[in-house]
């Protein structure tokens, strides 16, 4: 019986400095994949136990992201028209391993100073506990390095110690938006095509087909109630 799981590769953009890599020593000529080990994970355990020269089958899917020297292009999953983005305001709302496609976006901007200087990026990253946060050290380093252009808010549903945790507590919802109103880009007016919100994570981050205005678990619902129009929001 075949077991299939999708994973996001860790790509190295051209001319990326070593200090900007989420994992040091990435080789642009090799395929690198970040895999989180789950207690009951079928594939992650298999991959963990592989030996040198063991083989697995890989299939490549077309990405919804593409890059060039000046812009990030996003082909929406909901049939929205393709957005050719020289975005000036970009919000990234992710949870768990949903951070992995976003790492590619961040690395693209961090390694392109002339592009980064024309954009502001907000990242809201939700997890259960601090030990679940992937690339925590790197994200903090990048937030310090590019403080004028990149802001990050970590959200934990079960922090080890609320007293020692400096981020948000709970899940991403209207309560977080009320407590941290500047954690995402300001609600744009109808003329601002340069603002975008990208979501990536579990079903509450990806299910645009069943919008329930009574559901507190829907990230989309929280954004709509905050004043965002759905046309500004994409799921990766």
pLDDT along the chain (236 residues), means of 10: 78 77 81 80 85 84 56 46 62 92 87 86 95 94 95 94 90 91 87 80 65 57 88 83
**58 by DSSP, 3-state: which?**
coil
Sign, Cα dihedral of 166, 198, 135, 12: negative
- Summarize pLDDT for 44-94 with one digit per residue, the tens: 888 888 898 988 888 776 555 655 545 555 554 333 333 445 678 999 999
**pLDDT of the residue at 81:** 35
Nearest Cα neighbor of 123 from 95, 158, 145 is: 95
**pLDDT of the residue at 207:** 57
Tokens of 55: 């083989």
Distance CA 196, CA 185 (A): 8
**Residues making up the chain, counted from first to last:** 236
Nearest Cα neighbor of 64 from 90, 83, 91 is: 83
Q: 3-state DSSP: the chain helix, strand, coil percent, rounded to 5? A: 25, 20, 55
Instruction: Report yes or no: 88 and 118 within 8 Å, Cβ to Cβ.
Output: yes
**pLDDT of the residue at 191:** 60
**pLDDT of the residue at 78:** 38
**pLDDT of the residue at 71:** 54
């Amino acid at each position: 019986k075949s077991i299939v799981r999708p994973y996001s590769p860790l790509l190295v953009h051209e001319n990326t400095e070593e200090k900007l890599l989420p994992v040091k020593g990435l080789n642009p000529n090799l395929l690198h994949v970040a895999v989180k080990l789950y207690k009951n994970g079928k594939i992650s355990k298999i991959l963990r136990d592989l030996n040198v020269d063991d083989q697995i089958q890989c299939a490549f899917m077309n990405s919804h992201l593409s890059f060039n020297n000046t812009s990030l292009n996003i082909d929406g999953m909901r049939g929205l028209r393709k957005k050719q983005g020289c975005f000036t305001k970009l919000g990234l709302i992710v949870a768990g391993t949903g951070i992995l496609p976003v790492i590619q976006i961040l690395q693209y901007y961090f390694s392109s100073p002339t592009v980064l200087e024309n954009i502001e990026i907000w990242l809201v990253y939700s997890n259960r506990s601090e030990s679940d946060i992937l690339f925590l050290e790197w994200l903090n380093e990048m937030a310090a390095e590019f403080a004028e252009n990149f802001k990050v808010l970590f959200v934990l549903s079960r922090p080890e110690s609320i007293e020692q945790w400096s981020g948000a507590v709970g899940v991403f919802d209207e309560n977080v938006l009320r407590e941290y109103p500047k954690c995402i880009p300001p609600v744009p007016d109808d003329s601002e095509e340069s603002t975008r919100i990208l979501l990536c994570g579990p079903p509450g981050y990806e299910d645009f087909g069943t919008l329930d205005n009574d559901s507190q678990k829907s990230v989309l619902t929280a954004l709509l109630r905050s004043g965002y129009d759905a046309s500004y929001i994409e799921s990766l």
